[in-house]
Amino acid sequence: MKSSRQHISFLSPNSLIITSLAPLIAARRALLRLSNGGLRKSQKSDTRPNALKALILSIILMLLPQGTFAMSIFNPTKTCVFSEVKARLTLSGEPLKGVKVTRQWEWHKRQSDEAITDAEGYVTFPVVYESSVTRLLPAEIVIGQQLSVILNGEEKIFWSNAKREPEQNSEYGGSSFNVMCELTEEEVVIRDFGSLMLTMCKLENSHE
């Protein structure tokens, strides 16, 4: 299948991928010793301030993967990699109905999902979140995003972006991702929202 243009990877060179499980295993063991009172024997000889102990425990908790503390009131590693999408696709002004739309994103690895336009050309996708301990490091967030459709046997990319903020709806500076896309339009470059966006779509006002 011939693509109308090449995929662009927006992964930052500063992004770090931590693959070793050794620090997490060690963290769990340290936490277990604390909870079982395993450090009581050295309590009399331990002269470190309580504040330092609290700091060490906090670091251990932050290193544990998502799901270990499901009841936590916050998750500093949680990142919106693609906001909820509502788009209406038209071709020469007519609704593009019954076609497959592919959504792709790439943070630490490329992932995708698909949906079919309805009779009016509308397609929707739910918000997607991912978590990574790299959020705890001083590394730039750059998430490659893309929307495409197959027309006449060729892939047509009609929206692409480099997402640089972890919050939902940061693609359009806080506005809902609700767009109209005429696929005969020329692509335009948008830099208004802190990232580089290349699109055939126009933002619609949300009336929710």
Break the chain into its structural domains and give their ranges. Answer: 22-63, 78-203
Does residue 129 register a pLDDT over 90?
Answer: yes
Question: Hey, which CATH number is domain 78-203, 3.40.50.1220, 1.10.3720.10, 1.20.5.510, 2.60.40.1120?
Answer: 2.60.40.1120
pLDDT (mean) for 80-84? 96
Quick: pLDDT tens for 177-208. Answer: 999 999 999 999 999 998 899 999 999 864 44
Quick: pLDDT tens for 15-57. Answer: 333 333 444 444 445 444 544 444 344 444 444 556 665 565 5
Does residue 68 register a pLDDT over 60?
Answer: no
Report the largest interatomic distance among the alpha carbons of the chain, rounded to a whole angstrom.
Answer: 79
In this predicted structure, which of 38-47, 83-92, 157-166, 170-179 has the lowest mean pLDDT?
Answer: 38-47
0.75 exceeded by the pTM?
no
Rounded to whole angstroms, the Cα distance separating 18 from 134 reads 8
